[in-house]
Amino acid sequence: MIGAEVAALPRDPPLPWPRPQSLMEDQSRAIEPDTAGPKQAALPKPEVAHPDAAKPEATKPEATKPEAKPEPVEPVLPTVSTTCRDFLNSGQVEAKRVAAPRAGPGCGIDEPVLLTAIRLADGRRVAVTDAGAMRCDMARAFSSWVKGEFAAVLEQDGRRLETIVSGASYDCRGRNRVKGAKLSEHGKGNALDIRGVRFAGGATAQVGDKAKPIPMALFESACRHFATVLGPGSDGYHEDHMHIDLALRRPGSHYCRWQGSSK
């Protein structure tokens, strides 16, 4: 049986076509290593101010170089409503339109803006850090609150607000980062997490910090301005920040929970 199999094999298998000489030559050139080594860098000659001195030769090759024109990549900015445009141009905030962040399933921001500072009633500037893109309506509501009761509550002891430290508004995820949970308002840029504030002179107040606490009155004030307010003592997920959002609820309805909250 073995002998029969061997006999079945062709005796002279066809040879591959010879490669054209020119192709082989080209290849050998292409892989030729660069053995020239680094060129000796010409040290610049010390500048001698002489009235008769001609222009240095070194400037000539520059002129013959092809002009490299980097093409600026313009982000596509969504159009915004007149209300939003008026807010951005009000002079009361430092905020601008931004490109919508990449949206996951069900997520996305309507009229995304970046808010970086808010002017208080007396013109002082309060920086907002790390908020990232958020819905224009959320930025408007937050700015209006900061300008009013937020500043009033935090400055009642004479300290002067300088910075609001926040977490990113937009985050495409389920509520409390629980997989499969209902989409968080963060997924629409419709929420903000406030971690604390810094005052002029360096003092701070931080949510969940017993030594430098955020006044409870700030939670009560937030509940008058936002649909949802969650803080330490609410559900275990908000021990170091105050969550505020503009979730759609029945008119006048709020969901506010923090340590000692009555609602």
Reduced to 3 states (helix: H, G, I; strand: E, B; else coil), residue 210 is coil
In terms of C-beta density within 10 A (0-12 exposed, 13-18 middle, 19 or more buried), how is residue 240 classed?
A: middle
Which residue number, 191 or 246, has a Cβ lying nearer to Zn ion? 191
Among 31-39, 123-131, 147-155, 239-247, the segment contacting Zn ion (CB under 5 A): 239-247
Report the 10 Å Cβ neighbour count for 217.
13
Among 93-101, 147-155, 183-191, 246-254, the segment contacting Zn ion (CB under 5 A): 183-191
- The two three-digit tokens of residue 147, written as one number: 């300008």
Which residue number, 97 or 243, has a Cβ lying nearer to Zn ion? 243
Q: Which residue is nearest to Zn ion (CB)?
A: 243
Among 102-110, 145-153, 173-181, 188-196, the segment contacting Zn ion (CB under 5 A): 188-196
d(CA 93, CA 225): 18
193 contacts Zn ion (rule: CB under 5 A):
yes
d(CA 63, CA 115): 44
243 contacts Zn ion (rule: CB under 5 A):
yes
Which residue number, 97 or 166, has a Cβ lying nearer to Zn ion? 166
What counts of helices (H) and strands (E) characterise the chain?
Answer: 7, 10
Report which secondary-structure segment, H or E, holds 27. helix 21-30
Give the interface size with Zn ion as a residue count (CB under 5 A).
3
Which residue number, 149 or 240, has a Cβ lying nearer to Zn ion? 240
| List of residues contacting Zn ion (CB under 5 A) | 191, 193, 243
